[in-house]
Structure 1
Amino acid sequence: MPRRALLGHLLRLAALWLPAPALCASPAPSPSRTLVWGLGLETHAVLPVRFFFIQAVDKAGVNFTTSPGENTFEVKVVSPSEPFSRIWVQLLDRHDGSFLVRYRMYASYTDLNIHVLLRNKPVAKSPYILTGSVYHESCDCPESNGALWEKYMRCPSSFAQIQHDLSVFTRVDLDRNAEEIPVYIKTYGEHVGFRIFMDAFLLSLTRKVTLPDIEFFVNLGDWPLEKRRAPGKLHPIFSWCGSNDTRDIVMPTYDLTESVLETMGRVSLDMMSVQGNTGPPWAEKNSTGFWRGRDSRRERLELVKMARANPTLMDAAFTNFFFFKHDESLYGPLVKHVSFFDFFKYKYQINVDGTVAAYRLPYLLAGDSVVLKQESIYYEHFYAALQPWVHYIPLKADLSDLLEKIQWAKDHDEEALEIARAGQMFARTHLMGDSIFCYYFKLFQEYAKLQVTEPKVRVGMERVEQPKDDLFPCYCHRTKVKDEL
């Protein structure tokens, strides 16, 4: 073999034995630089489900923007004095470099320890010690100082919607209200009515903080009731939905309120669960508009009709017919229900009113898709803080620009993603359980200031008792024990 050929052959053989170049390893989170924060690390911030956050940070101090892996961190919540603590912990990967940690306590404990670990090393300032009595949801131990409770909960000083709703009432005469506001309640069948949502939340709130003495009327239906008229003839009625044609005082919806109470309980859709189930990354989502629901408004019929004519832009269909059953042959057939979390396989979420405002909007905003929201006369307690083209893409009330707006989103992908993220951040900041409790407390507090007559127990009223927890009773440190004579 010629010398040059032999040298080339030997070089090729040598190359076969060279070790493969090392693959570029992804940076790992740093235990010391990773951030941990949130109300769930505070003793006195009592919620049905407590929560806090972890932001993965590398050793250079750079925040992760994608998931480092759902099993990256380990969280343990224990009580040193109780080896078998009844605490359920869940760690939700938000797929943006951050995690939401939530835990529900089924009993009260002393000096709760929260350990956040990364490869068995403590993260940030772990362990976090919640000193003193740490109460669970069922514990009836209200803080008597409302201002102190607001400080514990980090409540904002005011809510613009509350100020707006109460501004038309210079005074509230409770005796006049009792005489002039008709009260009707009748329940048929197996359901006990929407009153259960209000009772459950009021009981929960009064276990946490002492409310001023108040007397108020709650509209248990969806439609707002108090028509616009001269201020002196208005009656203060609390409702879950407001409208441009009415003067109802708006509260967070029963749907959102119940999800706060029943998180990690009997509901599967809540503001925390959505954050851990936002579907594939933006680039891998289906670039079409998506909607599912029932036929509770004529615009929804037009939406389905439009989707059939434009299947490359929209996927919209009914899962149930109730209001327009005679049109089912035109707008059917019905399709199977889709898990709400599967909505986020699509980039563009279409939000259209139902009988009133579509109560799904908080969950749509919390996902990782951009919301296209119909212009509406109806609103929930947070709508006034939302900005079109910042938190959502606006649609005309008749949906005549829907195709145009979906095409705009497709042609402006980066801008659409930016709007999606802003809407998501709004939901994370303003629509979590702590914000809902703060809103109700501030609403009742401000309303109480307007009362010019004393609240009283009137004929026909029923006392609503706190539920008893005989299995895991708590011993409130704020309860004064009387000396026996």
Structure 2
Amino acid sequence: MIQDAEQNHKECNNIKNSCFSDVIRRDLSPFKKKGIREEMIVAAKTRGTFYQIIGGKLYREKDCMFPARCAGIEHFLLKVIAWAFWEGGPAISLYPRGLDRWDRHRKLLNKSSSDIPWEKKENKGFFRGSRTSSERDNLVLLSRNKPHLVDAQYTKNQAWKSDEDTLHAAPASEVSLESHCTYKYLFNFRGVAASFRHKHLFLCHSVVFHVGDEWTEFYYYAMKPWIHYIPVSKNADQKELEDLIEFARNNDDLAKKIAYRGRDFIWNNLRMLDITKFWKQLLKSYGKLLTYKPVLKKSLVQIEKKQ
């Protein structure tokens, strides 16, 4: 299976946003025949944050359920018309305002990974995060049973009340993303939405064990299992997790190859320029499918570029 994946894979080169064009075509394909009608927008408003672009200006409903995500989206929308990637993520003590801007953080992580070559990384798995999903439990339990294979512990989140919320153990201290780079195998889980840490982990030059396939971001589809990351079922039990880690430990050359390909994909194809081009192409394609002329809703507030 791994050999087949390698033989059939052709690394994308993001010239003219070619890595992500298929994502736009696929996501908009259901609207090709009949277009996007106003009643569709009305029906969808309860499932997200409502924006309008009118006369080259950006407007949004006053309340945003997840301000950090809105800030990320608005950075690129404002850039294109005059989630994402600019900043965001859950606030923790290490990052009290959420993860830093992507353009800055990618440079810091790239430097950290350069300071720790593959041969000097700890030969074990690693995970730190809060218990937003029980999908993470088996890895934490494996860590307690076989700490030589993986160091996976739960940290507090805003909802933490007792050790019951961290699987009946005292909460661990938070660990910076740069410190993740000291381990060869990094586990990525979804939370209540797409994982903010996903793209960051790859820049460590470590193998990313990506769990599940829900809550995706646009660039996920251009990344291939066993080429850029090691796929893990969201229902994987302790034995399956142990086997995957042991496989990587016993196939060090392959693990290193996957780690470096994953890193190169993110570094080369998720530059700020690439992301801006994606948004521009998406909005142009979306706009062509509208079957009505949007009229500004008076309840919206204008979003202006921060100085």
TM-score, with length taken from structure 2: 0.76
Map of 2:259 onto structure 1 = 420
Correspondence 1:290 to 2:126? yes
Counting only pairs closer than 5 Å after superposition, residues 168-187 of structure 1 correspond to structure 2 as 168-170=30-32, 171-177=34-40, 179-182=42-45, 187=63
Question: Residue 63 of structure 1 aligns with which residue?
Answer: none
1:274 is matched by which residue type in structure 2?
A: L
After TM superposition, give the deviation of residue 466 of structure 1 in Å: 4.4
Task: Classify 1:348/1:176 alpha carbon distance in 2 versus 1 (closer, same or farther; 3 Å).
Answer: same
Specify which structure has the higher proportion of strand: 1
Structure 1: 5+ residue runs without aligned partners? 1-152, 208-252, 260-264, 470-485
Aligned-pair distance for 1:181?
Answer: 4.1
Unaligned runs of 5+ in 2: 1-13, 50-60, 89-98
Counterparts of residues 50-449 of structure 1 (less than 5 Å): 155-157=16-18, 159-170=21-32, 171-177=34-40, 179-182=42-45, 187=63, 194-207=69-82, 253-254=83-84, 256-258=85-87, 267=101, 270-278=105-113, 279-321=115-157, 325=161, 327-328=164-165, 330-400=167-237, 401-449=240-288
Measured after TM superposition, the shift of residue 324 of structure 1 is 7.0
Give 1:310 deviation, angstroms.
Answer: 0.7
Residue 376 (structure 1) shift: 2.5
Residues 182 and 353 (structure 1), Cα distance of their counterparts in 2 relative to 1, 3 Å cut: closer
Q: Which has the larger radius of gyration?
A: 1
Aligned amino acid, residue 299 of structure 2: G
Distance 1:335 1:380 in 2: 29
Identity rate, percent? 26
Query: Is residue 370–residue 393 contact of structure 1 (8 Å, CA) maintained in 2?
Result: yes
Any idea what the Cα deviations from partners look like across 1:199-253, whole Å, max 9, x if unmatched? Answer: 333222234xxxxxxxxxxxxxxxxxxxxxxxxxxxxxxxxxxxxxxxxxxxxx3
After superposition, the CA RMSD in angstroms is 2.9
1:365 to 1:193, Cα distance in 2 relative to 1, 3 A: closer
Q: Which has the higher contact order (CA 8 A, sep 6+)?
A: 2
Q: Deviations over 1:93-114 (max 9, x none)?
A: xxxxxxxxxxxxxxxxxxxxxx
DSSP 3-state at the match of 2:291: coil
Q: In the alignment, which residue of structure 2 is the partner of 1:451?
A: 290
What do residues 318-371 of structure 1 show as CA deviations (whole Å, max 9, x unaligned)? Answer: 121456756247442112121211101111111122123322111111221111
- 2:280 is paired with a residue of what secondary structure? helix
**What letter is aligned with 2:182?**
K
Partners of 1:420 and 1:194 lie apart in 2 by 28
Taking a change above 3 Å as real, the CA distance of residues 460 and 186 of structure 1, as seen in their structure-2 partners, is closer
Pick the structure with more helix per residue.
2
Paired AA for residue 109 in structure 2: V
C-alpha contact (below 8 Å) 1:295/1:323 kept by paired residues = no
Distance 1:159 1:409, change over 3 A: same
TM-score w.r.t. length of structure 1: 0.50
One-letter identity of the residue aligned with 1:277: S
Q: Is 1:294–1:322's contact at 8 Å kept on the other side of the alignment?
A: no
